[in-house]
Every structure is written in structure tokens, then in C-alpha cells.
Amino acid sequence: MIYARKQKQMIERLIAKGISDRQVLRAMAAVPRHLFVQPGMEFQAYDEKALPIGFDQTISHPYTVALMTQTLQIEDHKRILEIGTGSGYQAAILCEMGARVFTVERIEPLARRAEGKLKDLGFHFLSRVGDGSLGWPAYAPYDGIIVTAGAPVSPASLLDQLKEGGRCVVPIGDGEGQMLTLFIREGRELRKFEIEPLSFVPLIGRDGWKKP
């Protein structure tokens, strides 16, 4: 397989950068990331960079995907809500790890393209087009919520949809950069941890940024 060597190098880089969750590494070694990038960019798919996917949006860096997934602590059959389907790659990693995936995207053509790719790979998931800053209340509560776009403040509607003991990873900050933040629900309280600074496209919606 022509991408196998690049995919192996990506995994070695992730380990060198501190990713240690074996299930995350196994999933990222299994899912063909080159199928989720734009035609002509396949050879860059395993490099440590975000790539354009159209509509001014990106597929996140491999390290970002790995770090966010590791922070969520996925287990089989856990119900995970993803906000920002984008290319579908992050959703594929979650499915590969055995999660029950619910994913929301605001840009319809991106959602449809991602759905097609995920289905072609045989993954089962539920997806919706809409404002994910409000979550997906119909299927709440979730064991985990992963927001793959930068929010200006803690997204209250999303945090309300988190189960007891559930974890939400969300980048929070201004347009310049964000802090990847982890919330863990403990009863009515939310414990908050700052993980590491990262840079994302904006979360646009009622509980996000107001303008594209």
C-alpha cells in the first residue's frame, strides 16, 4: 500500500509527541486518512498539518485528532457527540474505536461528503446538518463531547448534554488561538482542565461566534 509507510511514520511521530493511548494509535493506524483529504492532496494526508477541505474549513492535524481523542478516553459503545464533522476523519477514528457516534456539521455539502466516505468504509453513525453549538439534545446525554472548532466561551448548551462522569473537550479562546479545555461532569459541578494551546477554525452558531 503506497500510503502505509507514511501512515507508519505518522504513528511514530504521534508517539514521539506524547500520544500513549494504544486504542487511539491503533485507530489512527487503521483509518486511511488519505481518503478524507481533497483529491491531489493524498500524499500530504499523513504530514503533521491541517489541510483544506473546501468551504474555508480544514481537516485537523493528526496530532490534534490524537490528543483530543486521547483526552476523551473513549471506550466501546460510549455515546460520543462530535461538533464539526468536517471531512469525517475524526468521526471515523471514533467509530473505529467502537464509540456510538453522533456528529453535527453546519455546512451541508461537507456533511454529505463526509457521510458518503464514512458509509463507504462501513462505519455506522448518526449525522445531522445544523448548529452544533447547541448540541444534539434528542440523543443526549452523552458520555463524551468533542468540539472540533474554536468556541469563544464554555459552550453551555453542550455541557448540559454531558452525562455524569462525562468528558467534553473543546478549544476555547479568541480568533488568534485557543486552549484545548477538558470539562468533566461531577453531579451539578463541572471540573475544568486546560490541556494545551491549539489553533482551530471558529465554531459558528448561537453558542459560538456569531458571524462566519
Question: Looking at the annotation, which residues are catalytic?
Answer: 60
- Out of 7, 70, 84, 115, name the contact with ligand SAM by CB under 6 A: 84
Q: Is 81 one of the binding residues for ligand SAM (CB under 6 A)?
A: no
- Out of 96, 105, 115, 143, name the contact with ligand SAM by CB under 6 A: 105
Q: Is 155 one of the binding residues for ligand SAM (CB under 6 A)?
A: no
Question: In this complex, which beta carbon is closest to ligand SAM, that of residue 155 or of residue 166?
Answer: 155
Least distance between ligand SAM and beta carbon 27 (Å): 13
DSSP state string for the chain: -TTHHHHHHHHHHHHHTT---HHHHHHHHHS-GGGGSPTT-GGGTTSSS-EEEETTEEEPPHHHHHHHHHHHT--TT-EEEEE--TTSHHHHHHHHTT-EEEEEESSHHHHHHHHHHHHHTT---EEEES-GGG--GGG--EEEEEE-SBBSS--HHHHHTEEEEEEEEEEEEETTEEEEEEEEEETTEEEEEEEEEE---B-BSTTSBS--
List contacts with ligand SAM (CB under 6 A). Answer: 57-60, 83-84, 86-87, 89-90, 104-107, 110, 131-133, 148-149, 200-201, 203-205, 208
